[in-house]
C-alpha cells in the first residue's frame, strides 16, 4: 500500500530463492582457500606492494597506475565470468573498463581517478584480493548479486573515501567484517544475503551510517545497547538468529529512524515502551519472534507509522483505539498472537484506508481465532513487563533529542469458544556459468 514498505519487502525477499544457489559448497570453499593463499600476513597490503607488479604501460599519473594494478589483481581472482563483464579489463585505460567509473579527484580536480565500482548482477565467481585497497579514490563499491566468496580483506580500511559498500547476495563468510568499522566516511552498508555469523560489534552503532542492511545472514548475538547511538534512518536485521530484547535505547533514535525491520529472529521479552518515541518511523516490523507482554500506551506516539507488523509473537492483552487510529497508518498486522480484546476501530474492515489483520488471536466473536485451550496456556499466565528480564521498566520522559526465524506454527480455526474479552491492563571444481538471478536492487533509498 505504501511504497516504502513494499520496497523494503522486495529488498528482503526478492532474491532469497536464488541466494547461494549459483555455487556449490565445494566451489565456494575452493575459492575461499585460494583467497587465503593469496593473502599476505594480516590480510593487508605491504607498503611496497604496488612496485612489485611489473607494468609495461604508461599512465597519466600514479593513481591510475595503482588502480590498474588493483583491477588486474582482481581479474586474476575471478574464476567464472559468464556474461564477460571483465573481458575488456585490458590496457591502461581503466576508465573504459566495464563497471569502472572515473571522476575528477576530490583533492585535485585536474586528475581523473577511479571513483566507483559497480558490477551488480554480473554472476561473477571469485574473491576480493588485498590489492583492492589500492583503489583509494573510490566512493562506491557495489558488487551485489554475484558469487564472490571468502572474506572482506583488511586492506579495505584504506578506502578512506568510500561512501557506499554493497556486497549483498554473495557467499562471504566469517564473523562480522570489522574492517568496515575502520572506513571513516562509510554511510551505506549492505551485507544482506551472505553467510556472516556471530556477534554484532557494539561499535557498529557508533558509526555515522545512514542505512544498514544485515538481513539474511547467520548473526546470533543480541542487539547491543549502543543501538540508540546510531544516526541510521533505515535498519534491517531480519532473518538472522538474533536474540534477547530490543534495547530500550532505541528510543534515542527519535529524530533519525524511519524504517526498522527486526522480523524472523529470536527476540524475546516485552516491547520497550521507548518505541513509542519514534515519531518519524514509517515502517516498524517485529513479526515472527517470541515477544510477549502488553502493548505500551506510549505506542500512540508512532504518528507517522504507515506499516506496523507485530504478527507471530506471543503478545497479549488489548489492542487499543489509539494504535488503530494513528493518522498515517495504512497496514496494521497483529495476527497470530494472543490478544483477547480489540477496540472496534481495530476490527477489519473498520477503515477503508487501513488494512487490519487480527487472525489467530483469542478475540471473542471474531472468525479464525485460536481455540480456548490454546489461549489459556498464554492468556492465563500474563507477563508482567514491569518485572520481566528486559524491556519492561516504566517509560522515562521522552528525550528532546537523541544522543549523537523461527516462526510459530500456524494455528487452526477455533473449535471451542475463546475466553471473554477483558479490559486493557509482543578437488578444484570447475565453475560453470549460471543463469541470471532475480534482481536485487542495490540503490539506497
Is it the case that residue 149 has pLDDT exceeding 50?
yes
Band the pLDDT of 328: cuts 50, 70, 90: very high
C-alpha cell at 178: 570489522
The string of pLDDT tens digits covering residues 108-143 is 999 999 999 999 999 999 999 999 999 999 999 999
The string of pLDDT tens digits covering residues 37-66 is 555 545 556 554 554 566 789 999 999 999
pTM over 0.85: no
Residue 61 makes CB contacts below 8 A (sequence gap 6+) with 111
The pLDDT value recorded for residue 433 is 43
Is it the case that residue 211 has pLDDT exceeding 80?
yes
Sort strands 125-127 and 78-80 into parallel, antiparallel or unpaired.
antiparallel
The pLDDT value recorded for residue 392 is 44
The pLDDT value recorded for residue 298 is 97
Mean pLDDT of 63-91: 96
Is it the case that residue 172 has pLDDT exceeding 50?
yes
Do residues 124 and 438 make contact, with C-beta atoms less than 8 angstroms apart? no
For the chain, percent of residues with pLDDT exceeding 70: 76
C-alpha cell at 351: 477503515
Band the pLDDT of 438: cuts 50, 70, 90: very low
Mean pLDDT of 171-190: 97
CATH class, 3-379 region: alpha beta
Do residues 292 and 312 make contact, with C-beta atoms less than 8 angstroms apart? no
**Euclidean distance between CA atoms 126 and 128, whole angstroms:** 7
Residue whose C-alpha cell is 556474461? 83
C-alpha cell at 110: 585536474
Query: Rounded to 5 degrees, what angle do the CA atoms 65, 67, 73 make?
Result: 105
The pLDDT value recorded for residue 349 is 86
Do residues 112 and 137 make contact, with C-beta atoms less than 8 angstroms apart? no
Mean pLDDT of 174-187: 97
Is it the case that residue 13 has pLDDT exceeding 90?
no
Residue ranges of domains in the chain:
3-379
The pLDDT value recorded for residue 29 is 63
The string of pLDDT tens digits covering residues 402-431 is 444 444 444 444 444 444 444 444 444 444
- The lowest-confidence range among 169-183, 249-263, 427-441 is 427-441
Mean pLDDT of 244-261: 97
Band the pLDDT of 193: cuts 50, 70, 90: very high
Residue whose C-alpha cell is 520497550? 272
**Euclidean distance between CA atoms 223 and 101, whole angstroms:** 37
Q: What is the CA radius of gyration of the chain?
A: 25
- For the chain, the straight-line distance linking the first and the last C-alpha, in angstroms and rounded, comes to 17
Residue 79 makes CB contacts below 8 A (sequence gap 6+) with 31, 34, 125, 126, 431
**In 3D, which of 176, 174, 216, 180 has the Cα closest to residue 29?**
174
Is it the case that residue 305 has pLDDT exceeding 90?
yes
Is it the case that residue 167 has pLDDT exceeding 60?
yes
How many of the other CB atoms lie within 10 Å of CB of 60?
A: 12
**Euclidean distance between CA atoms 43 and 38, whole angstroms:** 9
Mean pLDDT of 285-290: 98
Residue whose C-alpha cell is 549502543? 226
Amino acid at each position: 500500500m505504501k511504497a516504502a514498505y513494499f520496497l523494503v519487502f522486495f529488498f528482503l525477499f526478492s532474491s532469497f530463492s536464488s541466494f547461494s544457489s549459483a555455487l556449490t559448497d565445494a566451489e565456494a570453499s575452493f575459492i575461499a582457500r585460494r583467497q587465503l593463499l593469496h593473502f599476505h600476513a594480516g590480510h593487508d597490503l605491504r607498503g611496497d606492494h604496488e612496485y612489485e607488479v611489473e607494468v609495461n604501460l604508461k599512465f597519466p599519473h600514479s593513481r591510475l597506475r595503482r588502480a590498474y594494478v588493483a583491477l588486474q589483481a582482481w581479474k586474476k581472482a575471478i574464476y567464472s565470468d559468464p556474461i564477460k563483464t571483465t573481458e575488456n579489463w585490458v590496457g591502461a585505460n581503466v576508465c573504459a573498463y566495464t563497471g569502472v567509473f572515473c571522476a575528477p579527484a576530490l583533492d585535485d580536480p585536474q586528475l581523473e581517478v577511479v571513483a566507483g565500482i559497480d558490477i551488480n548482477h554480473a554472476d561473477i565467481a571469485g574473491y576480493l584480493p588485498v590489492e583492492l585497497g589500492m583503489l583509494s579514490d573510490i566512493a562506491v563499491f557495489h558488487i551485489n548479486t554475484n558469487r564472490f566468496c571468502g572474506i572482506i580483506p583488511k586492506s579495505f580500511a584504506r578506502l578512506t573515501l568510500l561512501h557506499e559498500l554493497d556486497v549483498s547476495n554473495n557467499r562471504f563468510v566469517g564473523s562480522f567484517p570489522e574492517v568496515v568499522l575502520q572506513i571513516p566516511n562509510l554511510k551505506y552498508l549492505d551485507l544482506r544475503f551472505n553467510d556472516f555469523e556471530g556477534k554484532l560489534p557494539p561499535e557498529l552503532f557508533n558509526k555515522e551510517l545512514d542505512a544498514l542492511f544485515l538481513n539474511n545472514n547467520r548473526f546470533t548475538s543480541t542487539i547491543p545497547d549502543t543501538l540508540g547511538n546510531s544516526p541510521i534512518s533505515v535498519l534491517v536485521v531480519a532473518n538472522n538468529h538474533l536474540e534477547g530484547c530490543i534495547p530500550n535505547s532505541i528510543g534515542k533514535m527519535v529524530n533519525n529512524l524511519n524504517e526498522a525491520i527486526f522480523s524472523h529472529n529470536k527476540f524475546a521479552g516485552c516491547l520497550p515502551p521507548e518505541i513509542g518515541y519514534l515519531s518519524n518511523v514509517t515502517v516498524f516490523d517485529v513479526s515472527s519472534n517470541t515477544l510477549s507482554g502488553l502493548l505500551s500506551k506510549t505506542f500512540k506516539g508512532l504518528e507517522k507509522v504507515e506499516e506496523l507488523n507485530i504478527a507471530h509473537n506471543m503478545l497479549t492483552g488489548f489492542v487499543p483505539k489509539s494504535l488503530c487510529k494513528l493518522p498515517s497508518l495504512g497496514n496494521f498486522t497483529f495476527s497470530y498472537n494472543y490478544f483477547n480484546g480489540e477496540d472496534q476501530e481495530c476490527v477489519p474492515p473498520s477503515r477503508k484506508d487501513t488494512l487490519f489483520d487480527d487472525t489467530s488471536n483469542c478475540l471473542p466473536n471474531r472468525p479464525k481465532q485460536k481455540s480456548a485451550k490454546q489461549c489459556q496456556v498464554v492468556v492465563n499466565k500474563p507477563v508482567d513487563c514491569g518485572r520481566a528480564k528486559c524491556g519492561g521498566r516504566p517509560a522515562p520522559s521522552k528525550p528532546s533529542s537523541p544522543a549523537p526465524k523461527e516462526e510459530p506454527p500456524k494455528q487452526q480455526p477455533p473449535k471451542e469458544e475463546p475466553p471473554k474479552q477483558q479490559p486493557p491492563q509482543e578437488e578444484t571444481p570447475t565453475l560453470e556459468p549460471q543463469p541470471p538471478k532475480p534482481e536485487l536492487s542495490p540503490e539506497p533509498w
